[in-house]
Chain A
């Protein structure tokens, strides 16, 4: 699973400003012919990113190339079960990628359009936000 190699601080704030508004960067296809675009903001966990990646690679069976355009660099902490509130912030539980609306999440190339669409549809089923499949077009 994706996670930062080294970190300066173990626990962060929720950093909700990172998911508010529209995506100023990463909103257009940069590498491949097909992509998956986030239609709403949200936090995508490293597990979900990996599950979607596996779904795509299994479907295309070693054909083509794919790019992951997000990275889970925001740590999320949680308290153990049946623990009373207080006594400080919980321990690091998992990593999430903060995604704004419009962000391209995955890109794909080197496969036929119907194969890419099905692979991206399978990947979208693993994600907690609404997404859309985009295709490189004239001027975009």
Chain B
């Protein structure tokens, strides 16, 4: 018995116009394919489906599809969800027929745990997740809901690669390359902040040698005055030549 049961109706008309009419009436067009059976266009209720789509486990679990007007139940995996580009609404869903013994490759989300108490976080670092999901190959009935990565020992500059992650039994990563999954990095520093810090450091250093600076400041002022006179003279010359 699957954790998720989806009631659906058969969709007789296909195409853009019909799909738009369905969406306007609170339905979501979907399709079931895979296995030995032909493709099956179906209609889902938008309200109930949107609640399921908010659940992370829905994407990695076998779903039981009860299609009205079609004999028998079929179990499937959510293969793809198309989202509206502005509203957070699904506009189409693909289901892929599988049996529980099939080996499948699915995207499983990565969750970092214990990252708030790790030495990197205490030192002011930022957790940078390079891969928010990993492709995992396993049996269709034992896909993990998520991959938890323990970050409790990470310092700034440390990273965790695919090989460092312990997966549940029977599951293996489908990537050939040992990618970085997440790392602790120093926070981004803007040019302004660097300038401010440099100015603060200069001011702090200058406090100790105030007397010397005063003398230098007077000299600089005299120099600036002399420089300031030159551009004015040049401008006068330029004006004269135009005339």
Chain A residues with CB under 8 Å of chain B are 22-23, 27-28, 37, 39, 53-54, 57, 62-66, 101-102, 109-110, 132, 134, 136-140
Given A57-B188, A63-B187, output 5 extra A-B contacts at Cβ < 8 Å: A39-B86, A57-B192, A109-B128, A138-B54, A139-B58
Give the 3 A-B CB pairs with smallest separation, nearest first.
Answer: A110-B126, A102-B85, A138-B56
Interface of B is mostly: mixed
Query: Is the Cβ of B187 less than 8 Å from the Cβ of A27?
Result: no
Query: Is the Cβ of B187 less than 8 Å from the Cβ of A139?
Result: no
Total contacting residues, chain B, CB less than 8 A: 26
A–B pairs, 20, beta carbons within 8 Å: A22-B86, A23-B85, A57-B188, A64-B126, A64-B187, A65-B128, A101-B86, A109-B127, A109-B128, A110-B126, A110-B127, A137-B54, A137-B88, A138-B55, A138-B56, A138-B58, A138-B109, A139-B56, A139-B78, A140-B83
Least Cβ distance of B204 to chain A in Å? 19
Residues in A whose Cβ lies below 8 Å from that of B185: 65
Bound: A109/B127 CA distance, A: 8
Bound: A62/B189 CA distance, A: 6
Least Cβ distance of A30 to chain B in Å? 9
Query: Is the Cβ of B126 less than 8 Å from the Cβ of A109?
Result: yes
Query: Is the Cβ of A136 less than 8 Å from the Cβ of B86?
Result: no
Bound: A110/B128 CA distance, A: 8
B109, B187, B193: residue with the most chain A Cβ atoms closer than 10 Å: B187
- Assess A37 versus B86: contact at CB under 8 Å? Given A64-B126, A139-B81: yes
Interface of A is mostly: loop
Residues in A whose Cβ lies below 8 Å from that of B190: 53-54, 57
Encoded as 1 (CB less than 8 Å from any A CB) or 0, chain B from 75 to 108 comes to: 0001001010110100000000000000000000
- Assess A136 versus B83: contact at CB under 8 Å? Given A62-B187, A62-B189, A65-B187: no
Residues in B whose Cβ lies below 8 Å from that of A28: 83
B59, B109, B124, B132: residue with the most chain A Cβ atoms closer than 10 Å: B132
The contact of B187 among A39, A101, A110, by CB within 8 Å, is A110
Least Cβ distance of B226 to chain A in Å? 34
- Assess A102 versus B88: contact at CB under 8 Å? Given A62-B189, A110-B127: no
Residues in A whose Cβ lies below 8 Å from that of B88: 134, 137, 140
Query: Is the Cβ of B129 less than 8 Å from the Cβ of A109?
Result: yes
Encoded as 1 (CB less than 8 Å from any A CB) or 0, chain B from 123 to 149 comes to: 010111100100000000000000000
Bound: A37/B84 CA distance, A: 13
Query: Is the Cβ of B53 less than 8 Å from the Cβ of A138?
Result: yes
Bound: A16/B193 CA distance, A: 37
Within 8 A of A (CB), among B115-129: 124, 126-129
Within 8 A of A (CB), among B188-233: 188-190, 192-193
Residues in A whose Cβ lies below 8 Å from that of B81: 139
Least Cβ distance of A24 to chain B in Å? 9
Bound: A111/B200 CA distance, A: 26
- Assess A22 versus B85: contact at CB under 8 Å? Given A62-B193, A138-B56, A138-B58: yes
Instruction: List the A residue with the shortest CB-CB distance to B128.
Output: A65
Residues in A whose Cβ lies below 8 Å from that of B78: 139
Bound: A137/B189 CA distance, A: 28
Least Cβ distance of A41 to chain B in Å? 11
